[in-house]
Copies of this chain bind each other. A is one copy, B any other.
Amino acid sequence: MSDSLSSDLTLLRQRMRHSASHVMAGAVLELFPEAKLGIGPPTEDGFYYDFLVSRPFTPEDLQAIEERMRKAVGLSLPFQRRVLSRGEAGEQFADQPFKLEILRDIPPEEPITTYRHGSFEDLCEGPHVATTANIAAFKLLSVAGAYWRGDERKPMLQRVYGTAFEAQEALDGYLHKLEEAKRRDHRLLGRELGLFLMDPVAPASPFFLPKGATVYNLLIQYVRELYTRYGYQEVITPQVFASELWKRSGHYENYRDLMFFTYADDREYGIKPMNCPGHALLYASQVRSYRELPVRFADFGRLHRFERSGVLHGLTRVRSFSQDDAHIFCTPAQIHQETRRFIEMLQETYKLFGFQQVRMALSLRPEKRMGSDDVWDRAEAALRSVLDEAGLPYEPKPGEGAFYGPKVDFFVPDALDREWQLGTIQLDFSLPERFDLEYVAEDGSRQRPVVLHRAMLGSLDRFLGVLIEHYGGAFPAWLAPVQAVIIPIADRHVTYARTVEARLKAEGLRVQVDDGQDRMNAKIRQAQLQKVPFMLVIGDREAASQGVAVRLRSGESPGTMPLAEATALVLRAAASRV
């Protein structure tokens, strides 16, 4: 779809959804004449309208409202705009106190307009579709409480959510995705699959259960393998630093509200929200020659940031997390090559996880910045030329760079087409100044290195949340916490099942024997619910022939085969990492 078509569609949907919210308000007033109306705007995915009514809406109410709406749509009622004087408007909305409040807030020089369809007239700037018949496909979705004007000291209204699309198929597609997103909610799957849990004594700090910890550690292991290939050096740095350090790094001035502090020996200490200052100390702990550069320090250290309770959401917004964090200390001339290598590593990684469509945003110099124009010119040119070479589309964002340097952010859509920001690479001219970092150049002079902050996956905790939803919990074999469940049909098959287990474990595979009392089909269903990639079923025939009957999570049944063959099958799947 071309950009202009896509933006036409966006505008059409906005109008249609706005009109649907009017139609909904009209229907509510027919059913609840005493209802007081709040506001009813379109949103990115649909629309809502806020109502003050004497009792909570029930699912049956929503159905009745939807039916009334269908009738109004069937009547092809035109939307008619009207300009009113303030006096007329005050009369018109005399029994709608929230509307009167809005009215009072409209500046005197602005016109007062309403839109009417049928007998319902609403204070509104528009625009709307021509008639109610233009609302091609719609559905009411849910109700939730919402304070008037978002202010908890004001009355709580009921917000009814709905959505509308230009065609039934588009609506169906959206509803399916919504259903799928609910089914894949990582908070739900996290519990069902025994991956992680939360507890109020540690707000927004996940507990990874054995299976979740397995996946977490596999992600770290994967990144470590990349680090070996791409020349990174892992370090382990403290978590608690005296505030002097945070003052020097600028975090105390700019980031303090998001930090946790503690006290000892009459000194204030900050728990690290980032690894950079620690890495700057490591860099500065010895004289560095240009021949050593680039120095690439990687650190899986746990970070703590005080996110407000309101914005917390499962694993995707937490207070305690580790990152695949690294800092590259290099010469300005090395920015190009280091960024290129980073993007190579990142593309290799995203592809592995099935994130094919990487979108990039290049944030350029802001007005308030440090570093000379010459340095910015070269840094921005280096980033641009790397992105151009990579042949990937990117959006320049003038003025959006940090004061300390330009950056590239990387976004990917998951299996449900929801976009996540994962990676980032940020040039930093400030940190080397603040920590007086140097290297001895070829001519013996002392020079400032540049620092590149970079992460591919970002917070591993959040990335695991994204992955759970992306895979719907069905991790590929290399990441699956349990790669195969061995299912003895009867008690007499358990001994051989243990042999199979030992054999697979000896190959380094993660396997379990289900020796419970359930029947085979229940055991298979259980393994499928747990999204285990391979099921190895053992009955008389398999035990006698030293084989196993292989079934896949997908429902396929490759059938009975010798144990060696089945082992090779699982090993191949795990090694291929797809």
Contacts and interface: CB of A to CB of B under 8 A. Distances in A.
A271 B265 contact: no
A209 B285 CA distance: 10
A361 to B, nearest CB: 32
A304 B285 CA distance: 24
A210 interface: yes
Contact of A304 (B239, B242, B263): B239
Interface string A397-416: 00000000000000000000
Given A262-B262, A281-B201, A207 B237 contact: yes
B262 A271 contact: yes
A568 interface: no
B262 A234 contact: no
Interface string A341-368: 0000000000000000000000000000
Interface size class of A (residues with CB under 8 A): 35 or more
A333 interface: no
A217 interface: yes
15 contacts: A201-B241, A201-B281, A202-B241, A202-B245, A202-B278, A205-B238, A207-B281, A213-B235, A217-B234, A228-B505, A239-B239, A239-B302, A239-B304, A240-B319, A240-B320
Interface in A286-342: 297, 302, 304, 306, 309, 319-320
Interface in A202-229: 202-203, 205-210, 212-214, 216-217, 228
A315 to B, nearest CB: 12
A116 to B, nearest CB: 48
Contact of A233 (B205, B210, B234, B244): B210
B241 A212 contact: no
Nearest to A309: B265
A199 interface: yes
A260 interface: yes
Contacts of A569: none
Find the residue from A200, A202, A208, A302 having the highest chain B CB count within 10 A.
Answer: A202
A304 B240 contact: yes
Given A201-B244, A216-B236, A320-B238, A207 B278 contact: yes
Nearest to A212: B236
A544 interface: no
B197 A213 contact: no
Nearest to A237: B207
A564 interface: no
Contacts of A260: 240, 262-264, 269
A302 B302 CA distance: 9
Interface string A244-262: 1100000000000000111
A232 B476 CA distance: 24
A84 interface: no
B208 A236 contact: yes
Given A213-B235, A264-B306, A240 B202 contact: yes
A60 B304 CA distance: 55
A203 B238 CA distance: 9
A282 interface: yes
A203 B268 CA distance: 12
A133 to B, nearest CB: 51
Contacts of A234: 210, 213-214, 217
Given A260-B262, A302-B302, A239 B320 contact: yes
Contact of A205 (B199, B228, B240, B320): B240
A302 B272 CA distance: 13
Nearest to A259: B262
Interface string A98-110: 0000000000000
Given A199-B281, A242-B201, A236 B213 contact: yes
A206 B320 CA distance: 21
A271 to B, nearest CB: 7
Find the residue from A216, A236, A319 having the highest chain B CB count within 10 A.
Answer: A236
Contacts of A210: 233-235, 297
A261 B260 CA distance: 9
A526 to B, nearest CB: 16
A434 B408 CA distance: 51
